[in-house]
Chains A and B, each alone.
Chain A
Amino acid sequence: MAEVKLHGALLSPFVYRVIWALKLKGVPYEFVLEDLSNKSALLLKHNPVHKKIPVLVHGGKPVCESMVILEYIEETWPLNPLMPNNPYDRALARFWIKFAEDKGVAVWKMFRSTREELQNTMKEALEMLQTVEEHGLGEKKFFNGDNIGLVDLAFGSIVYWLQVIEDIVGAKLFESHKFPHLHAWIETFKQVPVIEENLPNQDELLVALKLRREQLMASA
């Protein structure tokens, strides 16, 4: 089988999505650590357009953008499917993946907000969570139904990071009485064996993100 390499940075939610997908499919890979302040020539060669991580390189051929990578992994290694098997449900899954991409940015915006901006970014993040709680997840065990899927990976990275970011910026949004379905889901998600074994340590994440936020606020 052709070699698989994942170019990434530590503690990136986008990189974790790809790690989870590869591990759920049992695909062996080599992790290539990138220094984002000093991007390697190889990274720039593989992703000249966006110059970002993650980049998956399979047999020397690069795939960029985390959700494009996830669909590529799903199609290339069909064992343990992470997407529904009929076109309509797949289209719905893609809708929620796009929603996670477009609206999930509210969480990263919150992380980068100054005190003045925080009210607005919190509001955006709350709206996103409300829509997902009511219309995306509903009563299901996973977004993908009985089994974990790509939509779960997309939201998993957002919500797991949100739980840490909330603490750092001093905002309490993801409350269990407001989001009972999402609260139950994130616990179920974290207990899936592959996920449990491949989650960044929350304390380490807290320390790293705190430092990053201090740097951001200092240069703001």
Chain B
Amino acid sequence: MSKGEVVLLDCWASPFCLRAKIALAEKGVEYEARAENLFGGKKVPVLLHDGKPLCESTIIVNYIDETWPSPPLLPSCAFERAKARFWSDFIDKKYATYGKARARSPAKNEFIEILKQLEGALGEKDFFGGDSFGFVDVIAIPLTCWFYAVEEFGGFKVENECPKFSAWMNKCMQRETVARILPDPEKVYEFVIMLRNMFGIE
């Protein structure tokens, strides 16, 4: 199963690192996680496979999927793969627009609108890819551990506004890998409060 040495430069609070960790766990790949200081300036995650570095979480997850093909994260049909890439790109684009200043809460309406669009992509399926946990689920689920903080600051509950999305989150949390790897949302909330205090944000 192990094809060479795998190291992940990591930071506990980063949803992008969580993507890589979940993908590696889903594939049963052993790796060494090296914790990096969030404020050290180094960009995480970085995957080192036999010393060869890769960055950008989505690219890392894609690489993990190709290098350790079982169980597959991307679907086998080219059209379904294109859909997965589209939604993964959508999530990253929205994060880039609204998620940058993580310590501030995004406007509630914009946030709900994004989740509703993702609910559209989900349709009646259990997961974004269909019956099995797959690529888009790996890309999306780590961002949800920041939702508790968003809910507290925004004064709303995702469960009430987007029940379908909330149901998908619960299904993902039932996976051993996800449940084990995602940090406690309360811990993330405390971290966000700390960031807000540091940057003097009310």
In the complex where A49-B90, A49-B117 touch, is A91 in contact with B62 (Cβ < 8 A)? yes
Binds B, one of A69-77, A115-123, A145-153, A176-184: A69-77
Residues 73-91 (chain B) with a chain A CB within 8 angstroms: 78-79, 81-82, 85-86, 89-90
Residue of A65, A87, A91 with most partner-chain B CB within 10 A: A91
Contact B82 A87 (CB under 8 A): no
Nearest neighbor of A77 in chain B, beta-carbon distance: B78
Contact B82 A91 (CB under 8 A): no
A64 sits at the interface (CB 8 A) = yes
Contact B63 A75 (CB under 8 A): no
Secondary structure type dominating chain A contacts: helix
Size bin of chain A's contact surface: 20 to 34
Contact B59 A72 (CB under 8 A): no
Residues 69-116 (chain A) with a chain B CB within 8 angstroms: 69, 71-72, 75-76, 87-88, 90-92, 94-95, 98
Candidates A65, A72, A90, A98; contact of B79 at CB < 8 Å: A72
Nearest neighbor of A61 in chain B, beta-carbon distance: B79
Contact A87 B63 (CB under 8 A): yes
B67 sits at the interface (CB 8 A) = yes
Which B residues lie within 8 Å of A58 (CB)?
79
- Min CB–CB distance A181 → chain B (angstroms): 22
B55 sits at the interface (CB 8 A) = yes
Q: How far is the CA of A64 from the CA of B56 in the complex (A)?
A: 22
Contact B86 A68 (CB under 8 A): yes
Q: How far is the CA of A95 from the CA of B55 in the complex (A)?
A: 8
In the complex where A49-B117, A72-B78 touch, is A94 in contact with B86 (Cβ < 8 A)? no
Q: How far is the CA of A58 from the CA of B77 in the complex (A)?
A: 13
A63 sits at the interface (CB 8 A) = yes
Secondary structure type dominating chain B contacts: helix
Q: How far is the CA of A88 from the CA of B54 in the complex (A)?
A: 8
Nearest neighbor of A90 in chain B, beta-carbon distance: B66
Interface size on B, residues (CB 8 A): 21
Give residues in A with beta carbon < 8 Å to B: 49, 58, 61, 63-65, 67-69, 71-72, 75-76, 87-88, 90-92, 94-95, 98
Contact A91 B79 (CB under 8 A): no
In the complex where A65-B86, A68-B86, A68-B89 touch, is A88 in contact with B81 (Cβ < 8 A)? no
- Min CB–CB distance B10 → chain A (angstroms): 18
Between A and B, 15 residue pairs with Cβ closer than 8 Å are A49-B117, A58-B79, A61-B79, A65-B85, A68-B82, A72-B79, A72-B81, A76-B78, A87-B67, A90-B63, A90-B66, A92-B54, A95-B55, A95-B56, A98-B59
Report, nearest first, the 6 A-B pairs whose CB atoms are least far apart: A87-B66, A91-B63, A72-B82, A75-B78, A63-B82, A68-B85
B196 sits at the interface (CB 8 A) = no
Q: How far is the CA of A87 from the CA of B69 in the complex (A)?
A: 11
Q: How far is the CA of A91 from the CA of B47 in the complex (A)?
A: 11
Which A residues lie within 8 Å of B58 (CB)?
98
In the complex where A71-B85, A88-B49 touch, is A63 in contact with B79 (Cβ < 8 A)? yes
- Min CB–CB distance A103 → chain B (angstroms): 12
In the complex where A65-B89, A94-B62 touch, is A88 in contact with B82 (Cβ < 8 A)? no
Residue of A61, A67, A75, A88 with most partner-chain B CB within 10 A: A88
Q: How far is the CA of A61 from the CA of B77 in the complex (A)?
A: 13
